[in-house]
Amino acid sequence: MSDPKVIVALDFPQAQTALALAQRLEPSLCRVKVGKELFTAAGPQLVEQLQQRGFEVFLDLKFHDIPNTTAQACKAAAAMGVWMVNVHALGGKRMMDAAREALANAVHRPRLIAVTVLTSMAQEDLHGIGINASPAQMVPLLAGLAHDSGLDGVVCSAQEAPVLRKQCGKAFCLVTPGIRPANAAANDQSRIMTPRAALEAGSSYLVIGRPITQAPDPLRALQDILSEIGDMA
């Protein structure tokens, strides 16, 4: 089976719009991501519909709660048959251990990854919440905890990928949002990189939302990105 490197973020307020966009894409070219906005509006039924159309789904709900609650939420995600699910590393090692253990005997075990520092955040945002460290310092620390807990990978920016690749090894999955083709608007993202540069830096998968979903021709936008990636796809 092919292993598409692009994960399209379906950030829409309702199922109908998300399905219409998915209809214009190709499961052989990309996976899709269902995040908080769409899942809150449309729920597991929408995940099921995307899977029926052949898409593998990254359920991006960033679970961050006490260990038991997070573990049970991960189990519920696995029961939906999703390809990937995530927790937030700021929930700590005990929470990540519980999440991994909860999935150990799942019939269909999704990849379990942890968000490190959101790609929208810069150093001043961390200072604003009392963390006197830079993303370049915090991300390796949180990725180390996720790695020690036996998680499959992390969400980070592509800017941290070279360091994490060395720290956590080849098999560790680095999922990177904040991807912007040259000249595309950064929007609310802070730590960004172009698609090809991100893969060269060591990203495993690229999460791309608005540059594709808001384009006049989303399939064309995806294909342009895949052409830029070329032999790295």
Ligand X SMILES: O=c1ccn([C@@H]2O[C@H](COP(=O)(O)O)[C@@H](O)[C@H]2O)c(=O)[nH]1
Q: Which is nearer to ligand X, 70 or 107 (CB)?
A: 70
Binding-site member from 4, 35, 67, 195 for ligand X (CB under 6 A): 35
In angstroms, the CA 205 to CA 31 distance is 10
Binding-site member from 16, 68, 137, 187 for ligand X (CB under 6 A): 187
Pattern 197-226, ligand X, x by CB under 6 A: ----------xxxx----------------
Q: Do the annotations mark residue 170 as ligand-binding?
A: no
Q: Which is nearer to ligand X, 189 or 194 (CB)?
A: 189
Q: Do the annotations mark residue 210 as ligand-binding?
A: yes
* Residue whose entry in the numeric block shows the structure tokens 């310092």: 137
46, two tokens: 């929408």
219: left (phi over 0), alpha (psi -120 to 50) or beta: alpha
Query: Of 5, 36, 65, 75, which residue is the catalytic one?
Result: 65
Binding-site member from 11, 56, 152, 160 for ligand X (CB under 6 A): 11
In angstroms, the CA 197 to CA 229 distance is 9
Q: Do the annotations mark residue 67 as ligand-binding?
A: yes
| Range 142-161, binding ligand X (CB under 6 A) | 155
The verdict on 119 binding ligand X (CB under 6 A) reads: yes
The verdict on 176 binding ligand X (CB under 6 A) reads: no
Assess whether 65 carries a catalytic annotation: yes
The verdict on 9 binding ligand X (CB under 6 A) reads: yes
The verdict on 50 binding ligand X (CB under 6 A) reads: no
Q: Which is nearer to ligand X, 100 or 180 (CB)?
A: 180
| Least distance in angstroms from the C-beta of 195 to ligand X | 11
- What would the DSSP string read from start to end of the chain? -----EEEE---SSHHHHHHHHHTS-TTT-EEEE-HHHHHHHHHHHHHHHHHTT--EEEEEEE-S-HHHHHHHHHHHHHTT-SEEEEEGGG-HHHHHHHHHHHTT-SS--EEEEE-S-TT--HHHHHHTT--S-HHHHHHHHHHHHHHTT-SEEE--GGGHHHHHHHH-TTSEEEE--B--TT---TT-SS-B-HHHHHHHT-SEEEE-HHHHTSSSHHHHHHHHHHHHGGG-
Q: Which is nearer to ligand X, 19 or 106 (CB)?
A: 19
Q: Do the annotations mark residue 69 as ligand-binding?
A: yes
Query: Would you list which residues are annotated within the binding site?
Result: 11, 33, 60-69, 119, 180, 189, 209-210
The residues annotated with a catalytic role in the active site are 60, 62, 65
Contacts with ligand X by CB under 6 A lie at 9, 11, 35, 115, 118-119, 155, 177-178, 187, 189, 207-210
